[in-house]
Amino acid sequence: MPRFAMILEYRGHGYVGWQSQTGQNSLQQGVEKAIAEIDSTSPSIVAAGRTDSGVHALGQVIHCDLQKVWEVGRLRDALNWHLRLETIAVVQAALVEADFSARFSACRRAYLYRIMVRSSPLVHQAGLAWRRRRPLNVDAMRTAAGLLVGRHDFSTFRSIKCQANSPVKTLDSIVIEERMASHGERELQIRLEARSFLHRQVRSIVGTLERVGTGLMTISQFKEAFQSCDRTRCGTVAPAEGLYLERVDYDPDPFERA
């Protein structure tokens, strides 16, 4: 059976997260329902990452095996027709080798976290970013973030529900960009890249960096909390609404030749 990989965009609102759960509205179930409309075998899908409830995606990657070889543009359009009532879209599709895995073939995952610094409630960006009223010291946040790059024990930023075998991960990069938004407001975009992440690692890191930005935690205290490998010293976990699975990288990239 031919195997296809697809890049998905979605808004996480109204879903319990990516993974199928009995009696719950999940993103995986929404996509599998659309695929079942074009393939009578109702194939299951494998995703590059299992995003939590409320988390969005700009570049989630999945794969599945279909009965026939589709022209990739027609496959994308057919699935988008059946997804029209969901906040999910297939951006690109590609025919891949039988041993390709959206999850295990990935060599890097990139997450984006958006923070809007403004006094007024969010309207157009409601549910798409974390609003913070207090100004943030971006330079201090960048200094603290730099301590995380490399191979470390990330137990401080690991959810107690995390099922990973080890808390040791290699964070390839973390970049904090500051942009001017409308009416003199600021948007912070925090990008993190690694081969894989622990459960809620990104949101835990962002929530703790926010404390540094507001002055509630010094850089020295941040370093001590990180090196303590003590989950209780993590800052407030940032809300899901500001988090995006931005990109998943493969080598070779199956979508370059699609």
Q: CA-CA distance, 34 to 151, in Å (whole number)?
A: 40
Structure-token pair, residue 182: 């409308």
Residue 135: cis peptide before it, omega within 30 degrees of 0: no
Q: Where are the alpha helices (DSSP H) in 201-257?
A: 201-214, 219-228
Q: CA-CA distance, 258 to 255, in Å (whole number)?
A: 5
Contacts of 57 (CB under 8 A, 6+ apart): 8, 9, 10, 12, 51, 244, 245, 246
Q: Which positions are catalytic?
A: 52
* DSSP-assigned beta bridge partners for residue 193: 110, 173
Structure-token pair, residue 96: 């891949």
Give how far Cα 233 sits from Cα of 154, 190, 214, 224, 243, Å.
Answer: 12, 21, 17, 9, 22
Among candidate residues 223, 215, 202, the one with its CA nearest the CA of residue 157: 202
